[in-house]
């Protein structure tokens, strides 16, 4: 849904869409789990599941805090941002329609 509804979400609210955030969280968790298996000098030392989980939670919290500090977290997509986004989408749509109609009228006179 990140590539379909998510695009409209981002355009309408100005925040990261929740589907993209979930995809990023899953990819980061997988990367942390993969990276937790390599120790010093290339020796494989698998970290315990608890350590991996702690690292994943810490990384998720860091990303969420950053997004919230920037006003980009999906939880911050309030009515004001949504209203502004809807107005922007409508304005662009009406502008495109107007240009289409003007172009059509211009071409029909030729």
Q: Which of 29, 18, 17, 23 is nearest to 62 (CA)?
A: 29
Task: Sketch the domain layout of the chain as residue ranges.
Answer: 5-77
What rounded mean pLDDT belongs to the chain?
A: 82
pLDDT at 63 over 90: yes
Only one residue has tokens 């003007």, namely 102
pLDDT at 42 over 80: no
Question: Helix crossing, 5-13 with 79-109: angle to 10°?
Answer: 100
Please give the Cα distance from 9 to 95 (Å, whole number).
21
Please give the Cα distance from 73 to 64 (Å, whole number).
7
For residue 61, what pLDDT is reported? 95
Across 20-34, average pLDDT = 90
Q: Which residue has the higher pLDDT, 80 or 101?
A: 101
For residue 15, what pLDDT is reported? 86
pLDDT at 19 over 60: yes
pLDDT at 92 over 60: yes
pLDDT at 48 over 70: yes
Across 83-108, average pLDDT = 86
Q: What is the DSSP string of 50-107?
A: HHHHHHHHHHHHHHHHHHHHHT-SGGG--HHHHHHHHHHHHHHHHHHHHHHHHHHHHH
Q: Which residue has the higher pLDDT, 32 or 81?
A: 32
Please give the Cα distance from 72 to 66 (Å, whole number).
8
């Amino acid at each position: 849904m990140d590539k379909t509804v998510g695009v409209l979400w981002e355009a309408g609210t100005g925040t990261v869409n929740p589907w993209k955030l979930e995809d990023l969280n899953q990819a980061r968790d997988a990367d942390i789990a993969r990276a937790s298996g390599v120790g010093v000098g290339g020796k494989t030392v698998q970290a315990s599941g608890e350590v991996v989980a702690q690292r994943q939670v810490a990384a998720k919290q860091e990303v969420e805090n950053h997004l919230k500090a920037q006003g980009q977290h999906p939880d911050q997509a309030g009515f004001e941002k949504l209203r502004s986004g809807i107005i922007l989408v409508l304005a662009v749509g009406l502008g495109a329609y107007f240009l289409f109609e003007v172009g059509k009228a211009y071409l029909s006179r030729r």
